[in-house]
């Protein structure tokens, strides 16, 4: 059966900012936040953006390499800023910027940036077309073009792997 193309959506319709406080259960004995905890927060935040963009069931197809640039300490506030960067026929890239803030001094550092690809599935597990994203600002357009280049790189890598 032919699926209708979903309506396009503006970047701002699904963009999200969420903040977590690092508690003792999130840290190792040095008081540094576990990388896996931050990755889970990244996945959840990006997933919410993907859901809001599609309003259908979505799954994470991949997360690109993720480097942690600075340690995130016990008690820090971790803010994740996420939005749809790029959409293609059956997938979308969501970018997440991770900032760690000392709540006393207000000092903030850019800890990591992650790019995740989501795919929308129907109730039988069949991929659905993705609503095209409409970038609204110069920054959105820059991210769209960068996302497109990364999408192409991922495709090429998967083709090479076979």
Ligand X SMILES: CC(C)(COP(=O)(O)OP(=O)(O)OC[C@H]1O[C@@H](n2cnc3c(N)ncnc32)[C@H](O)[C@@H]1OP(=O)(O)O)[C@@H](O)C(=O)NCCC(=O)NCCS
**In the complex with ligand X, which residue's Cβ is closer, 60 or 109?**
60
**In the complex with ligand X, which residue's Cβ is closer, 73 or 127?**
127
The least distance separating ligand X from the CB of residue 129, rounded to whole angstroms, comes to: 9
The least distance separating ligand X from the CB of residue 149, rounded to whole angstroms, comes to: 14
Q: What is the number of H-type helices and E-type strands within the chain?
A: 2, 7
The least distance separating ligand X from the CB of residue 59, rounded to whole angstroms, comes to: 4
Q: How far apart are CA 94 and CA 23, in angstroms?
A: 26
In the sheet that 77-87 helps form, which strands lie side by side, from edge to edge? Answer: 16-21, 77-87, 92-101, 108-121, 57-63
Q: How far apart are CA 45 and CA 40, in angstroms?
A: 9
**In the complex with ligand X, which residue's Cβ is closer, 30 or 126?**
126
Q: Which residues bind ligand X (CB under 6 A)?
A: 59-62, 88-91, 117, 119, 127, 154
């Amino acid at each position: 059966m032919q699926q209708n193309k979903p309506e396009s959506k503006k970047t701002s319709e699904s963009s999200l900012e969420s903040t977590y406080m690092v508690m003792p259960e999130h840290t190792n004995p040095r008081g540094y936040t576990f990388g896996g905890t931050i990755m889970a927060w990244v996945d959840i935040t990006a997933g919410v953006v993907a859901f809001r963009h599609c309003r259908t069931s979505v799954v994470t197809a991949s997360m690109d390499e993720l480097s942690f640039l600075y340690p995130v300490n016990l008690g820090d506030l971790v803010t994740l800023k996420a939005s749809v960067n790029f959409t293609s026929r059956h997938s979308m890239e969501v970018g997440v910027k991770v900032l760690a803030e000392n709540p006393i001094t207000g000092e903030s550092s850019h800890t990591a940036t992650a790019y995740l690809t989501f795919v929308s599935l129907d109730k039988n597990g069949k991929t659905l077309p993705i609503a095209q994203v409409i970038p609204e600002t110069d920054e959105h357009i820059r991210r769209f073009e960068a996302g497109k280049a990364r999408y192409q790189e991922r495709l090429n890598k998967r083709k090479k792997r076979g």
